[in-house]
Chain A
Amino acid sequence: MSSSNSQAFREIRQLCVAVSKFAFVENKDFVEANSGLIDALRALNSKLNEFEYTDLSPKFADYVFVPIASLLKQLTLGILETEYVLSIITHLLRLCWFETSTFPKDLAKQLFPVLTFLIGKDTKNEALQNMSDHYRSISLKTLHQFFNSLKNQRDYCNTFFTIENKEILPSLGHSITIILDILKLSENNPESQLIALDSLNILFKDIIADGEVLSFVLPGNLSVFASILAKPGMTINYNIIISTLKVMRLLLVLVYDDYSLKVEKYETGSLEKITELIDDDLSISPEELFENQSIVINEDKLKERKVHRTTNWLHATSSQVKRFLNSFLPKLVKRKNESINKELDFFASDLLLNCRLSLSVCASELISVLLDIRSSNLLTLGIDMTLLTKIVEEKISKITEIVKFEKLQELKSLEYGLLVLDQTEDVTYLISRAIDALIDVLDDNEIQYRMRREDIKIVEKNNIISLNNMTFNNLVSTETTLLPSLSKEVEFNLSAILTGFGSMLSKNNSLIEEVERIFDTSNNRGTLALWVATNLSSNMENCDTNSDLNLFLDFKDSNEKVGSSEAKFTILEQSYELNRKIAMEIENNGLNKKTENDMCIILNSITVVSNSMKGDFESELIDYLYIVIDSLASSSSLVRERAQICATVLADNLYGGSVTDLIVTNVDYLVESISSRLNLGMTQRVSTILMVICNLSGYKIITNFTDVIETIFKLLEYYHGYSDLCLQFFQLFEVITLEMKKEYLNSNLENHKLSNEHLVTGAYAPWGISSVQQILYVLDKDTDPLKEEEFDGLDEPKNFQEYFDSKLREADSDDELSEGEENIEEELKDGGKNENPEDDAEKWISPIPRDSYRILLKIIGYSDRLLTHPSKPLKIQVLSVIKLIVPMLDTQHDSLLPQVAKIWDVLIACVLDSDFSITQAACECVKVIITHSKDFITKRFIELWTTLKDKSTLLRSLYLSRIQGSDSSTKLNEHPSIEVVLHQKFPPVTRRALISLSEMLIEGICITEMVLLDSTLIEMVYCCIQVIPKESISSRSLVLGDAVWTIVNKY
């Protein structure tokens, strides 16, 4: 006896003696709930609990066990006592009978029934139900320890429970029920559950390990396991689930192992057999039944005839297993727990591998699980592909439901299924079906989504394209969805799955056919089909989103590349067509949620395709750039955002990130698109984009597009009633004019004014010279870099030959005859006109070329017409354009004057407008005209004063001077002092208008002062000093100074 043994013995002796006192009394004298006994048991138990050795000798066990055994003989052992007894036995099992060959078989044989009896007195364990958790826990530990110890008894443990060993079997059954019951009852005690499961595990795996025996306990086990696994909610500890699955797998594999069962499959099952059995089990379909019946256990091959696991048994139980599996597998998959999934993977794989035939009815459930958890084992198990196909097909048929209820898991399984199938067969037709179903459901979704929402027009105005802040980073993470009827997550997943489909299709070289098929069959669901197709073909470059798929996809064939490129072009072309339709619709009905979304999808497709084509997309800009740039100016922020992403991608791939370069380099394509839109009468955003182009590329480029400007003029004639459109066009004209000015008049406008040959009439500045440079310029006229030749050089004949030619050309006159030939006709008919325009015609001295000058004239022409338009913003815009153009026209002064004559009256009408903002703009405009027309308007200006006094509402807010009292009808009765007159306050709008009016008058006075009547002059100045500081007026000229002095001092 080792020292530890003797030590333990010493420590335990007294305690055992104490217990013995109670244990050895007669049955009739045994008192239940004897506190002395309980104390003694407790003391013994806690002492034993302190021991950790596992090598205490059997003698020690015997010593302790003797009083316990006699205690067991007592008929009425209290619960508490039982607990201690069990616990003490557990300790003994642990301490003494644990090691190999320490636990005698006989003892085990005796002990095992005792234990089961002790724990659950009745075989149905009814008492156990009412026991405390503690009791159950102790019972469980005892059994657990028993199996653990038994497991170590290598010499007999595997034969301990055998069919032949009949007397022990009821106890075995009982013990399993106990464990299962405890398992069931310990919902809130995961620890116990784990111990229970471990006990079963040890029992099944290490002790029994015989399918035949286990087949008896199988149903009970399964139903308990299933009930645990199928508990609603996700509250069950995953460790328990894993353990449960482990035990269940163990059990099923042991019971249904193909090899040991000698299962065989009859290829031709007879129909009669089926009909025989069809009544037995209605829960499985005839198909499955048929499948099932062809599986037969070859009982002859079994070495020893076993009664239980027959073919009939197999048929009956396997479908039960199927039902159990069905009850919990889908639920477990949904938990998306990695550890659970891992166990599920083992579970399903193991069963599929070992029970392929015997549990073939369950194959589809098991495969489904593997699909759901995307198990890579699917590829190696060599499973039945037709079955997998069937599963996939079934999933496809449920796509509507999958999408509507956002069953992403299902969707992923579907994809995975296809992927696995793809390894061995052509899945194109399945993908086609899936895509069709998908488009159907998405379309349906979309329609319902639209129906639930009002059709709101998006009217947000946006006339500016912002090219700043367009950096890739801040745009990539767009939060908006392309399919508003879906959640972001679903959309993302659908898109990833479609990408996966696309990879498979392209591997099978059928991507292009599929894309074309989608477009062909998707009438009226254009953008949806586009979205699907785009996702399909976005594979090559974006594989990283599906990295696990890459394992299987390996692109070697260059044909695939071609096919996928072809598909991209098909997608692009489809985008183009759709855009054309949708743009038309937007043009007609404005942007609504539907068309906004359509545009987003189109832009997305362009972005995706262009990004995958990189540099190759350059040749496609011819058609697609406009769609993008146009959308940059969209009234929808969503569309703008998409367009910005697209523009940035294009710029990044093609122009080193510069959106400006993207536009400037492709101005020709943009203008072409604008031109064709205008030709179709589509005007929206056209002017905005033209403005951007003009701003970015300058006037020189604009000269190439004069035909487009001409088209805009034509449109102005058609749409003059639409003030918004006219306003936009005039905004464009302003930009064009400014660019023209920048091009031709930038630095030396002053000089050109001087070089004009008109008479300068400023009274005290005879030549308008105000700087030394100008004097030098005049003196240096011979070397004027802007000599006439520069403008007229081409028209000037250099020799007779050219003179003759030009004469012929010029003769081409007043009908629409064509150049050249018509001259001859002229000559033939009337000998030709002897006109010599080069001599008669005024010299072209403006730095602005004739063609551009004509554009300005046209703008003035249309301004003239549109000033009668009722729209106020339009009028103000037109006036500001006139103001801008007049100085430019003045570079060819003689040509300015007819225009002034033409528009004077309508401008004056605007000056008289009751809306002071219009008056203000008109006055500014007239002032500029006065400055540039000089004495040409003298008479008109003087008349203007009379008109103003007569009709101007604005002027009425001022005091008129008294001096003309006798002939002025607007004389006020009471006239305030000059101080009051000089310090008036006006509302801001009136004030601004008055300042403009006064500036205009002063400008006019400067021009006309020599011919102006003194009285009129005083009248005008009297008005002006009420608005403008008198000092600033008197500084303008001597005459004005005099007038101001007169007023201040004499009135």
Chain B
Amino acid sequence: MNNVRLPDYTLRLHNSEITSLVIISDFENFNTPILLSSDIEGKIIFWDLITRRPVFIHIIEKSPHIVSVEYITNDKLYAVLSKDHKFRIFRLTENDKISFENEYKYSFNVAFESPVNTLNFANFAIQKLNKEESKFRLICCNTQDAEGIDIYDFKLDEINSLKRIKKNLNFYDIVNISINDSELFKFDKLGVVMKFIQFQDDIVIVGYESGFIIGFRIHENVQLLSGPSASVKTSSLSEILSEKSRDENTVIANIVEIVYISKIHYPNPVLNMTLDTNKTEGLTFYSSSVDNKIGIHDINLKNEGNTSFDHADFHISANNSTAVRKDISIGLKNIDTEYEKIGLIEKSRGKFILGTWRGTTCILDNEFKLTEKILRTKSNMLVNESAVGDIQNTAREEKKIYKVTSVGYFECSESLNGDATSTKLINQSRNIGSQRRLNAFLQSFWVFVGYNDGCITIHKN
């Protein structure tokens, strides 16, 4: 059981650390399952998982460290955050003919770009706004303060369309009110943002350095009603808030409603979060930290389509930008695992994939039982090219274990599996050999692990 699994295959084209792995099951455009990988040298590779060869390689100008890549489903759009302080959206276009310089039939064109904060390692969240085709909303760290969150709206191909909806949102105060337990919690800030995840079209979940996890959504142009003062109770801070807002009874504003708060990882930082995509109702996601806990978070969405907020039911922040239901429950559900320092976590239909700082990738079943363990080690010959003594320069010394820097998985979506016509669609224009390969591929569950040396290993599960 504890035997370390060796990779079934390895993808070797990155020469530096892998930063993200994204599965793209866009058979209409690619006719094959695609794995997108990015590294710290600005390289993005689209791998054909059947031939295990790249169908497209793009290197971002000046080879910046890519932090995160998001695939915007069905739009052939790829949002990329890189350490040259840039947020870009690339549009993948299929070239008419393969030119001499470009050996691939695809090309990447910037559809939008904007300077952003890449001080820390947080990713970003992107929402497609339904009203207009090319309008998107970006949620990322504030330009100066990595603890704050900025929210922007923009339109593709219009650089000037960028509009900041919310600036430097900091949930500390309002969370403090909601938690209301100064004895237990002695935190004075939430810390920097560690991770964003996007759920459905409107909910964004943020994990903080302090271990707090906050889920919120944005309500545009809603009524903010000031409730009767009697209903406002206790906490001095909230009194102040109430007083301030008493003057005008109704305000129309864009409000950020906090729909979820969890503190299970406090005081350890949230390292990663993943959605349970298998859920059809409600929202469940999992979080990991440096401790051995995996947070299990369920959000029950109340007041869908709420158009007004009043002080009776909500704590509302001083600047009328944030609101939280007074009766919000604080998430505490978690499970203890044998693993610590879980930097990476992914949830598929039936499995958890954890990547730890110790270099192991663990595949767990839904009951958190270990089914497989993946570890890549180097030889015992650790060399140091530095001429200077070993003690000071440990940073340069090699480590015996390759670091896991990204994990991903592929499982055939149920619609694809069951539906004969869609399989037929996929199989069009493939010869029998690759049809067989594709069908064999779709039968299995695949785990992808990216390492700091640029290797991506593929494991059949």
Contact = CB atoms under 8 A, between A and B. Distances in A.
The finding on whether chains A and B are genuine partners in a shared complex, rather than unrelated, reads yes
B118 A862 contact: no
A794 B10 CA distance: 27
A672 B15 contact: no
A619 B431 contact: yes
A850 interface: yes
B23 interface: no
Given A840-B392, A861-B381, A672 B52 contact: yes
Contact of B388 (A714, A840, A861): A840
Interface residues of B, number: 67
B432 A819 contact: no
A820 interface: yes
Interface residues of A, number: 64
A842 B387 CA distance: 8
Contacts of B119: 801, 804-805
B292 to A, nearest CB: 15
Which of A801, A816, A828 has the most B CB atoms < 10 Å from its CB?
Answer: A816
B269 A824 contact: yes
B33 interface: no
B408 interface: no
Interface stretch (A17-25, A889-897, A1022-1030): A889-897
Interface stretch (A464-472, A641-649, A685-693, A851-859): A851-859
A705 interface: yes
Contact of B269 (A565, A675, A717, A825): A825
Contact of B357 (A617, A679, A816, A850): A816
Which of B13, B271, B357, B379 has the most A CB atoms < 10 Å from its CB?
Answer: B379
Contacts of B277: none
A854 B121 CA distance: 29
Nearest to B379: A713
B341 A817 contact: yes
Nearest to A822: B357
Secondary structure at the A interface, as helix, strand, loop or mixed, is helix
Given A672-B52, A895-B386, A819 B433 contact: no
Interface stretch (B151-159, B219-227, B253-261, B395-403): B395-403
A716 B381 CA distance: 10
Interface in A835-885: 835, 837, 840-842, 850-851, 853-854, 857-858, 861-862
B180 interface: no
B405 interface: yes
Contacts of B65: 805
Nearest to B431: A616
A898 B85 CA distance: 40
A858 B17 contact: no
Contacts of B399: 816
Interface in A787-826: 794, 801-802, 804-805, 810, 812-814, 816-822, 824-825
Contacts of B358: 816
A819 B405 contact: yes
B386 A818 contact: no
B93 interface: no
A11 interface: no
Contacts of B455: 707
Contact of B385 (A704, A804, A805, A854): A854
B377 interface: yes
A605 B222 CA distance: 72
A172 interface: no
Contact of B10 (A675, A842, A857): A675
A622 B381 contact: no
Given A668-B12, A705-B12, A895-B385, A819 B452 contact: yes
Contact of A858 (B383, B388, B433, B437): B383
B9 interface: yes
A704 B431 CA distance: 30
A802 B121 CA distance: 13
B132 interface: no
A821 B191 CA distance: 13
Contacts of B188: none
Contacts of A824: 120, 192, 194, 209, 269
A348 interface: no
A671 interface: yes
A714 B9 CA distance: 18
Contacts of B17: 819
A669 B83 CA distance: 33
A753 B320 CA distance: 68
B315 to A, nearest CB: 29
A1035 interface: no
A1030 B399 CA distance: 52
Given A824-B209, A841-B393, A857-B385, A710 B378 contact: yes
B119 to A, nearest CB: 7
A34 interface: no
A455 to B, nearest CB: 33
B371 interface: no
A566 B432 contact: yes
Interface in B262-295: 269, 271, 290
A850 B9 contact: no
Interface in A696-747: 703-707, 710, 713-714, 716-717
A784 interface: no
B243 to A, nearest CB: 37
Nearest to A573: B436
Nearest to A820: B121
B182 interface: no
Nearest to A572: B433
A897 B52 contact: no
Contacts of A812: 395
A824 B452 CA distance: 19
A546 interface: no
B51 interface: yes
Interface in A658-687: 668-669, 671-672, 675-676, 679
B426 to A, nearest CB: 15
Contacts of B388: 840-842
Contact of A854 (B12, B341, B359, B383): B383
A929 to B, nearest CB: 16
Nearest to B13: A704
A620 interface: yes
Interface in B394-430: 394-396, 398-399, 401, 403-405
A289 B311 CA distance: 111
A569 B433 contact: yes
Contacts of A810: 395
A835 B192 CA distance: 22
B434 interface: yes
B372 interface: no
A815 to B, nearest CB: 8
B10 A850 contact: no
Nearest to B402: A707
B52 A668 contact: yes
A769 interface: no
B394 A813 contact: yes
B163 interface: no
B83 A805 contact: yes
Given A569-B436, A895-B386, 17 more contacts: A668-B53, A704-B12, A714-B377, A804-B119, A805-B118, A812-B395, A818-B343, A818-B357, A820-B343, A821-B194, A821-B290, A821-B343, A824-B269, A842-B388, A854-B383, A857-B384, A858-B379
21 contacts: A619-B50, A619-B434, A671-B12, A675-B10, A676-B6, A679-B6, A713-B381, A717-B379, A805-B65, A810-B395, A814-B394, A816-B357, A816-B403, A820-B343, A821-B194, A821-B290, A824-B120, A824-B269, A841-B393, A854-B385, A858-B379
Interface of B: 6-10, 12-13, 15, 17, 41, 50-53, 63, 65, 83, 85, 118-121, 192, 194, 209, 269, 271, 290, 341, 343, 355-359, 376-381, 383-388, 392-396, 398-399, 401, 403-405, 431-434, 436-437, 452-453, 455
The 10 closest A-B pairs by CB, nearest first: A894-B387, A713-B379, A857-B383, A820-B121, A818-B357, A861-B381, A814-B394, A818-B343, A704-B12, A679-B6
